[in-house]
Amino acid sequence: MSLFTAGILIIGDEILSGRTQDTNANFIAKNLTASGIKLEEIRVIQDEKKIIIDTVKFFSETYNYVFTTGGIGPTHDDITSESLAEAFNKKYETNAEAYNILKKYYPEGEFNISRQRMAKMPSDVELIYNPMTAAPGFKINNVFVLPGVPKIMEQMLKDVLIKLKKGNPKKITTINTNLYESKIAPSLNDIQNQFIDCSIGSYPYFNFISKKGGVNIVISSWKLNSLDEIEKEIIKMIKFNGGKYSIV
């Protein structure tokens, strides 16, 4: 069974300053998991050329797929494209196809020098088309370079994922119980040790108003074809401890 891995690189001082709550990583994460691709790391890094270059190289060598968001607009702080060119020893130059797409999109006389900058990319890339505001992203080696604006990024990612070589989807089931986490922790630990090809996550919650809480037990596996056996085992354990359960 093949397993594809991924890393996400969020290029954005505005996330690090706290000015903006990033939602791109979560959107990409959900869609990767649904596509059978295992996301192993997310990094939010500064808009600094050297940091971008070093991190992209490391990610490109470490993961099957890399997704970057941010830094491909028309202003001086948009340095993703030139950094990617340097990371992969490519020329940073005007992409003829991107240039024509942008030229066609803007009204006569409004395709100014800053907008033209959005056609500058590493040489030999494959474009990722932008159905909303024309300015394309691109694929270089195993790196998918996407914009930072969520609505646009989301559209473009969906197109990327359709074409991507994927693994088997991750099997995942969530069992909710009204028992407290600490009550079931030792038994969950035992069950985890029995099923090593499966990962058991335990996510407690507590409502401070109703004073009621419980646990969502998330069973997941990239390897097994069925989670039935472990699911049965956990339900048996919940009943044994006098708890209620439901499959979420």
Cα(80)–Cα(69) distance, integer angstroms: 9
User: Which CB, 127 or 218, lies closer to a second copy?
Assistant: 218
Q: Give 72 or 85: the residue with its C-beta nearer to a second copy.
A: 72
Q: Judge contact between 42 and 29, C-beta under 8 A.
A: yes
The span from the CA of 154 to the CA of 146, in Å, is 9
Q: How far is the CB of 171 from a second copy (least distance, A)?
A: 12
Q: Tokens in use for 184?
A: 């079931």
Q: Is the dihedral of CA 45, 80, 134, 123 positive or negative?
A: negative
Query: Which range in 30-38, 56-64, 89-97, 227-235 contacts a second copy by CB under 8 A?
Result: 30-38
Q: Closest Cα partner for 120 from 144, 96, 142? A: 96
Instruction: Using DSSP bridges, classify how beta strands 4-11 and 37-45 pair: parallel, antiparallel or unpaired.
Output: parallel
Residue 9 or 84 having the CB closest to a second copy: 9
| Range 32-61, binding a second copy (CB under 8 A) | 32-33, 39-47
- Which of 72, 119, 145, 188 contacts a second copy by CB under 8 A? 188
115/145 with CB nearer a second copy: 115
Interacting residue with a second copy among 115, 137, 145, 177 (CB under 8 A): 115
Q: 67-106 mask for a second copy (x: CB under 8 A)?
A: ------xxxxx-----------------------------
The amino acid sitting at 47 is D
**Do the beta carbons of residue 95 and residue 119 sit within 8 Å?**
yes
Residues 6+ apart with CB under 8 A from 151: 132
Give the integer Cα–Cα distance in Å for 11 and 150: 13
φ, ψ of residue 111 in degrees (nearest 5)? -85, 75
The footprint of a second copy on residues 203-222 (CB under 8 A) is 203-204, 206, 208, 218, 220
The reply on whether position 167 binds a second copy by CB under 8 A is no
By the rule CB under 8 A, 29 interacts with a second copy: yes
Q: Pairing relation of β-strands 4-11 and 92-94?
A: unpaired
- Rounded-to-integer distance, Cα 124 and Cα 138, Å: 10
Does residue 223 touch a second copy according to CB under 8 A? no
Residues within window 135-164 making contact with a second copy, judged by CB under 8 A: 149, 151
Question: Shortest gap between Cβ of 89 and a second copy (angstroms)?
Answer: 25
Rule CB under 8 A: which residues touch a second copy? 10, 13-23, 25-33, 39-47, 73-77, 112-115, 117, 132-133, 149, 151, 170, 172, 181-183, 185-186, 188-189, 192, 199-204, 206, 208, 218, 220
